A and B are shown apart, each in its own frame.
Chain A
Amino acid sequence: MQENDSPRRDARSCRSPHWYLEPRPTDSGTATSSATPSGHHPSEPGLTFRRLRKVLVANRGEIAVRVVRALRELDIASVVIFSTADRRELPVLLADEAYEIGPPPSSESYLRAAAIVDLARRVGADGIHPGYGFLSENADFAARCEAAGITFIGPSSRAIAAMGSKTESRRLMLEAGVPVVPGGTEALADHDAATVAAAELGYPVMLKAAAGGGGKGMRMVQREADLASAFRATTSEALASFGDGAVYVEKYVERPRHVEIQVLGDHHGNVVSLGERECSLQRRHQKVVEEAPSVAVDSSLRRRMGDAAVRAAAAVAYTGAGTVEFLLASDGQFFFLEMNTRLQVEHPVTELVTGIDLVVAQIRVAEGEPLPPEVQGVEPRGHAVEVRLYAEDPYRNFAPSPGRIELLRLPEGPGVRNDCGVLQGSEVTIHYDPMLAKLIVWGEDRPQALRRLRRALGELRIEGIRTTAPLFLDLLEDEDFLAGRLDIGMLDRKLQSGDWPPRRTAGEPGTPSLDSDLSLIAAAICHVQRAGRSRGAPEAAQSARRRWHAAARGEALRKPV
């Protein structure tokens, strides 16, 4: 274990309360999972730690804002990079320093690994936080930071590389005793090899791209007759999307949940589990709603999944915040899916039920601090739910909806948190992921959290573009969702059924209903008002002028001249 004499890492700072964004839970039950595996050398040889003074945030949007906020609270100077499309956006406005990194396309801006590391060195940043997406799981980028003597706020490049390959990570997990979905870990040579492997597992099976992730490059195969075409399609898709055509096969788990474990590791051999997140509500394998805890996980299952996740992370000497994703079958069996070696989009739900500030934790770990002892044994307190607000029309096949945000009014009040990356007036462009913001609520239990979510969504106003907010309001009236009956295909099945969401009946048929006519009336009034304005005699302006004159007269009468 490397030590230096930074005053930050004395016993007092180890128990620094600043790891927490909320009062921490008092419960320190037995549901903890932690590991100090013998024989594993946690720290990279030669790695030295130092207190970070200036950190470059290699990202944009809400996650850049989230990281800048943490840096500001820690008195660490923040540096952001921006493409020309983002000059006026929130990360730039909140940061201490900001530098243009290129034109709007990501490949010419936020993905320019060498330029970003060079910039960090030039401006004297001693750390880089990658956020999620972009370069966050790029082992070469992490290695480049390491080589440049800049602290990469995340795991080692070796851990990223090991978990980045599906076949490699499966092999590692088998060695570490982490349950994986039955199947081959080897890339299949050809269609014949696939036929043999699939027959051994029994149908249905899943074909997956070895270099894939995020739900791309996988295909379910019901029977042998479909295998040949599915193998061809998956291989060519893998080659096109990931530049690597390697494909493997595994058993298909029917209607599983997606439950993931947040882990935290330090450079002193400690890895702990911070409990699970339920992320089964997905559209085409992309998460839509996340919550913590999961209704399907009790203390005992939480401990078992946590133990497995800790073993998974320890197998690659994981440091910082990471997520081990599992498929949870209806019988309580769970299988390793993949490990995300970065902060997750949905990290706030864990923050709200554990009280731990995960971004601060990442930074402290990167500075060499050991995990504070109390983070072990965290049981979730209350219930948190996050919805992802995308610039997409949920009822037009999630068509992107770029444009100017004419009005932005975020909900406030008890138990509501907004992680928002846009401003009123922001232009949502086609260049980046269309996620605008995350709305996260906390409640004492799930029903209260959901009622609060409904209340908050009712306050939310985003005008000028379409968003996914209507989808969440409909989900909050859906019996399956309310009861927590979730699996990873549930939302897709509902959306494809054609009769979901159920049509709202606006009053009795035949009788005119004000609610349904009011939107037509609003358009008409808006139209008349606009026409009036363009004729130069706006009614509102006139009455304002009248009021102003009246006020002026009143003033004149009161004031002795």
Chain B
Amino acid sequence: MELVVRSADREVRIAVEPLGDGRARVLLRPAGGGEHEARELLVEYRFAHGTISFLVDGRQYELATSERGSEAGATRYWVHDGRRVEEVEVLEPLAYLARRETRQRGGGGTRRVTAYMPGRVVQVLVSEGTRVEAGQGVLVLEAMKMENEIAAEHAGVVTRVLVASGQAVEGGDPLFELSTESAL
């Protein structure tokens, strides 16, 4: 099964073929690329004590993955290479197709952004219908005695604001809806 795996700046297709005994054949293909760009890697890996140890041509790499939740065939992971934590999303083929279709239909997918922890909404920075750039602040949430700006993860339109300033929220409560641009 070929998975679509994406991080903030990359998207690849990965097929993992377990060969048993902690070895696997990994087929990597750039998301938009053809078969000729595919690469094949033989990796040896072990789930160590909470991390994964890879041996590739004798070089050892230790990575830790932490599952951060999943939704309709898309699972989010944090992958820590000992240096940085990368947010990686793994999409099953059907989930990927479904997502692409929504985008192609031009309606643009709408994502509901939720509070990642309990807190209080200090300020809503935009009104419904505002077009925002990636990284632009949408609202300010106070949690753990600190004010945190919740920014748009991608460019789009804030279609609905579901909270008002001063409102207390629980972790997981929806804050606003952000539609993606219609272009693929």
- On whether the beta carbons of B16 and A525 are closer than 8 Å, the reply is yes
Main secondary structure of the interface of B (DSSP, over half): strand
Decide yes or no: A529 and B149 within 8 Å by CB, A522-B63, A523-B77 being known contacts: no
Q: Is B114 an interface residue (CB 8 A)?
A: no
Residues 450 to 475 of chain A near chain B (Cβ within 8 Å): 458, 461, 463-464, 466, 470, 473
- On whether the beta carbons of B64 and A407 are closer than 8 Å, the reply is yes
Q: How far, in whole Å, are A521 and B21 apart by their CA atoms in the complex?
A: 17
- On whether the beta carbons of B88 and A519 are closer than 8 Å, the reply is yes
- On whether the beta carbons of B64 and A461 are closer than 8 Å, the reply is yes
Count of chain A to chain B residue pairs whose CB atoms are closer than 8 Å in the complex = 124
**Which residue of B49, B66, B83, B117 is within 8 Å of A402 (Cβ)?**
B117
In the complex, which residues of chain B have a beta carbon less than 8 angstroms from the beta carbon of A527?
3, 75, 77, 90
Q: Which segment of B50-58, B105-113, B121-129 sits at the interface?
A: B50-58
Interface mask (B59-92 → A, CB under 8 Å = 1, otherwise 0): 0010111110000000101111111111010100
Q: How far, in whole Å, are A526 and B80 apart by their CA atoms in the complex?
A: 13
- On whether the beta carbons of A434 and B54 are closer than 8 Å, the reply is no
Closest to B82 in A: A458
In the complex, which residues of chain A have a beta carbon less than 8 angstroms from the beta carbon of B43?
521, 525
**Which residue of A407, A470, A520, A539 is within 8 Å of B88 (Cβ)?**
A520
Q: Is B12 an interface residue (CB 8 A)?
A: yes
- On whether the beta carbons of A523 and B51 are closer than 8 Å, the reply is no
In the complex, which residues of chain A have a beta carbon less than 8 angstroms from the beta carbon of B149?
397
Q: How far, in whole Å, are A530 and B78 apart by their CA atoms in the complex?
A: 15
Q: How many residues of B contact A (CB 8 A)?
A: 54
CB distance from A409 to the nearest CB of B (A): 7
- On whether the beta carbons of B146 and A400 are closer than 8 Å, the reply is yes
Q: How far, in whole Å, are A406 and B83 apart by their CA atoms in the complex?
A: 17
Q: Is A300 an interface residue (CB 8 A)?
A: no
Q: Is B14 an interface residue (CB 8 A)?
A: yes
Q: Is B10 an interface residue (CB 8 A)?
A: yes
Interface mask (A372-413 → B, CB under 8 Å = 1, otherwise 0): 000000000000000000000000011110100011010000
Decide yes or no: A523 and B90 within 8 Å by CB, A463-B50, A463-B66, A517-B28 being known contacts: yes
- On whether the beta carbons of B50 and A473 are closer than 8 Å, the reply is no
Decide yes or no: A520 and B12 within 8 Å by CB, A397-B148, A461-B82 being known contacts: yes
In the complex, which residues of chain B have a beta carbon less than 8 angstroms from the beta carbon of A199?
none
Closest to A406 in B: B66
**Which residue of B3, B81, B84, B148 is within 8 Å of A399 (Cβ)?**
B148
- On whether the beta carbons of B88 and A473 are closer than 8 Å, the reply is no
Q: How far, in whole Å, are A518 and B81 apart by their CA atoms in the complex?
A: 9
Residues 466 to 507 of chain A near chain B (Cβ within 8 Å): 466, 470, 473
In the complex, which residues of chain A have a beta carbon less than 8 angstroms from the beta carbon of B56?
514, 518
In the complex, which residues of chain B have a beta carbon less than 8 angstroms from the beta carbon of A532?
18
- On whether the beta carbons of B66 and A539 are closer than 8 Å, the reply is no
- On whether the beta carbons of A522 and B14 are closer than 8 Å, the reply is no
Q: How far, in whole Å, are A473 and B85 apart by their CA atoms in the complex?
A: 13
Q: How far, in whole Å, are A397 and B64 apart by their CA atoms in the complex?
A: 23
Q: How far, in whole Å, are A430 and B117 apart by their CA atoms in the complex?
A: 8
Main secondary structure of the interface of A (DSSP, over half): helix
Q: How far, in whole Å, are A399 and B145 apart by their CA atoms in the complex?
A: 11
Decide yes or no: A519 and B117 within 8 Å by CB, A400-B148, A463-B50 being known contacts: no
Decide yes or no: A526 and B77 within 8 Å by CB, A470-B85, A473-B83, A520-B5 being known contacts: yes
In the complex, which residues of chain A have a beta carbon less than 8 angstroms from the beta carbon of B84?
470
In the complex, which residues of chain A have a beta carbon less than 8 angstroms from the beta carbon of B22?
540
- On whether the beta carbons of B54 and A518 are closer than 8 Å, the reply is yes
Q: Is A414 an interface residue (CB 8 A)?
A: no
Closest to B28 in A: A517
Closest to B9 in A: A516
Q: Is B24 an interface residue (CB 8 A)?
A: yes
- On whether the beta carbons of B144 and A402 are closer than 8 Å, the reply is yes
- On whether the beta carbons of A543 and B20 are closer than 8 Å, the reply is yes
Q: Is B184 an interface residue (CB 8 A)?
A: no
**Which residue of B10, B28, B78, B118 is within 8 Å of A430 (Cβ)?**
B118
Decide yes or no: A512 and B144 within 8 Å by CB, A402-B117, A407-B50, A521-B28 being known contacts: no
In the complex, which residues of chain B have a beta carbon less than 8 angstroms from the beta carbon of A515?
61, 81
CB distance from A489 to the nearest CB of B (A): 20
In the complex, which residues of chain A have a beta carbon less than 8 angstroms from the beta carbon of B79?
519-520, 522-523
Decide yes or no: A512 and B86 within 8 Å by CB, A430-B118, A463-B80, A528-B18 being known contacts: no
Residues of B at the A interface (CB closer than 8 Å) are 1, 3, 5-7, 10, 12, 14, 16, 18, 20-22, 24, 26, 28, 39, 41, 43, 45, 47, 49-52, 54, 56, 61, 63-67, 75, 77-86, 88, 90, 117-119, 143-144, 146, 148-149
A407-B51, A519-B81, A524-B26 known; 8 new pairs, CB 8 Å cut-off, are A400-B144, A461-B50, A470-B85, A512-B28, A518-B56, A520-B79, A526-B52, A543-B20
Interchain residue pairs with CB less than 8 A apart (22) = A399-B146, A407-B50, A407-B51, A461-B50, A463-B66, A464-B66, A470-B85, A473-B83, A514-B41, A514-B56, A515-B61, A517-B28, A519-B86, A520-B10, A521-B14, A523-B5, A523-B77, A523-B90, A524-B14, A528-B3, A529-B47, A540-B47
8 closest Cβ contacts across the A-B interface? A407-B50, A400-B144, A519-B79, A523-B88, A524-B14, A526-B65, A522-B63, A430-B144
